[in-house]
Amino acid sequence: MAVMKWCDEFTVDVSWLDEEHGKMFDLLNEIHAGVQAGEKHFRLHYLLDRLVSCTESHFAEEEQKMLQLGYPNYENHRLQHKVLLNEIRLLQTAYREDYVSLCSEALAHMKSWLTNHIAGMDAHLARFVKRLQDRDPNTNDPADL
């Protein structure tokens, strides 16, 4: 069974964000399935490395977009990315060095940080992006949106 299913609850209605979040969900589910199936360590390392690099590139892309668009909550959002990335990198290192196993608690924790971040900060960013797309051409200051 998947650790979490992609559903409307996690959709922010901005296609590039939803696509990338979907990829992160898929990887997390693949790790979960691998753990349950008793996959070898090297395979789980590989999947975890992919999740970390997917998260790094997704966060970098979001941050670049926020800067481009003049998103007013950029600093807070970037800071939360930094904290989340540190956590997942710590888990990656601890797993590589055999300090932790990829147990259901670790996966549940990753699930909850991903879903909370999407439902909170990313949903806020998505509303900003959508308002920007529909905005009045006379509005010049993104902070007014």
User: Minimum Å distance from CB 18 to Fe ion?
Assistant: 9
Residues sharing a CB contact under 8 Å with residue 76, sequence separation 6 or more, in sequence order: 121
User: Count of residues binding Fe ion (CB under 5 A)?
Assistant: 2
Residues sharing a CB contact under 8 Å with residue 77, sequence separation 6 or more, in sequence order: 62, 63, 66, 71, 121, 125
User: Minimum Å distance from CB 121 to Fe ion?
Assistant: 5
Q: Which is nearer to Fe ion, 30 or 122 (CB)?
A: 122
Q: Which is nearer to Fe ion, 16 or 99 (CB)?
A: 16
Q: Residue 129, interface with Fe ion (CB under 5 A)?
A: no
Q: Residues 33-72: x/- map of binding to Fe ion (CB under 5 A)?
A: -----------------------------x----------
Q: Residue 122, interface with Fe ion (CB under 5 A)?
A: yes
The token duo for 118 is: 């999407």
Which residue's C-beta sits nearest to Fe ion?
122
Q: In this chain, which stretch among 25-33, 42-50, 85-93, 120-128 interacts with Fe ion, using CB under 5 A?
A: 120-128
Q: Are 107 and 144 in contact (CB under 8 A)?
A: no
User: Minimum Å distance from CB 40 to Fe ion?
Assistant: 30
Whole-angstrom distance, CA of residue 44 vs CA of residue 102: 8
- Name the percent of the chain in helix, strand, coil, to the closest 5: 75, 0, 25
Instruction: Using alpha carbons only, give the angle 112, 90, 46 rounded to the nearest 5 degrees.
Output: 85
- Residues near Fe ion (CB under 5 A): 62, 122
